């Protein structure tokens, strides 16, 4: 009886192995035979989309820079991107200090003689205690 059980087990292993071989072969055949052009087009598409996205990104960055400059009152005529960005940064830092001081006044913090860092720390203390 043991001999018969062993042969039965061998037969099951052979059948399972054959099923895996047939299914695996069919999968490989499907992948290879599906479309050889698909590989070419998928390799070409990323280059095109990368170039398009770079162009779109540079255009959108310029538009954003001009919008920001207009909001802050910075002139963009006849200036390079770097010059515009420097002026925007300068105006932002000035506005930041004004807004910080206004917000500190609203919270009832005395602002005279205090640095921006001290004001930020006091605002943080008040916000965390709420």
Instruction: Show pLDDT as tens, one digit a residue, over the chain (130 residues).
Output: 455 667 888 888 889 888 888 777 777 766 666 656 555 555 555 666 777 777 777 778 888 888 888 888 888 888 888 888 888 888 888 888 888 888 898 889 888 888 888 989 998 988 888 6
In a domain, 67, yes or no: yes
In a domain, 88, yes or no: yes
In a domain, 57, yes or no: yes
Distances (CA, A) of 37 to 25, 40, 44, 48: 21, 5, 11, 17
Measured between alpha carbons, how far apart are the two ends of the chain, in Å?
Answer: 81
pTM above 0.85, yes or no: no
pLDDT value at position 88? Answer: 87
In a domain, 2, yes or no: no
State the Rg of the chain over Cα: 34
Q: What is the pLDDT of residues 61-92, one digit of tens each?
A: 888 888 888 888 888 888 888 888 888 888 88
Q: Of 92, 93, 42, whose CA–CA distance to 71 is shortest?
A: 92
In a domain, 14, yes or no: no
In a domain, 23, yes or no: no
pLDDT value at position 4? Answer: 67
Domain that holds residue 95: 35-129
In a domain, 102, yes or no: yes
pLDDT value at position 97? Answer: 84
Q: Of 69, 93, 91, 70, whose CA–CA distance to 81 is shortest?
A: 69
In a domain, 30, yes or no: no
pLDDT value at position 1? Answer: 45
């Amino acid at each position: 009886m043991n001999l018969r059980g062993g042969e039965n087990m061998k037969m099951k292993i052979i059948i399972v192995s054959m099923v895996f071989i047939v299914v695996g072969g069919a999968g490989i055949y499907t992948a290879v035979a599906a479309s050889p052009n698909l590989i070419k087009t998928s390799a070409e598409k990323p280059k095109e989309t990368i170039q398009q996205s770079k162009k779109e990104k540079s255009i959108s960055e310029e538009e954003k820079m001009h919008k920001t400059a207009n909001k802050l009152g910075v002139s963009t005529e006849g200036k390079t991107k770097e010059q515009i960005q420097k002026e925007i940064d300068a105006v932002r830092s000035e506005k930041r200090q004004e807004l910080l001081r206004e917000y500190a006044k609203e919270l009832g913090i005395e602002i005279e003689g205090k640095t921006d860092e001290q004001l930020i720390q006091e605002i943080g203390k008040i916000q965390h205690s709420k």
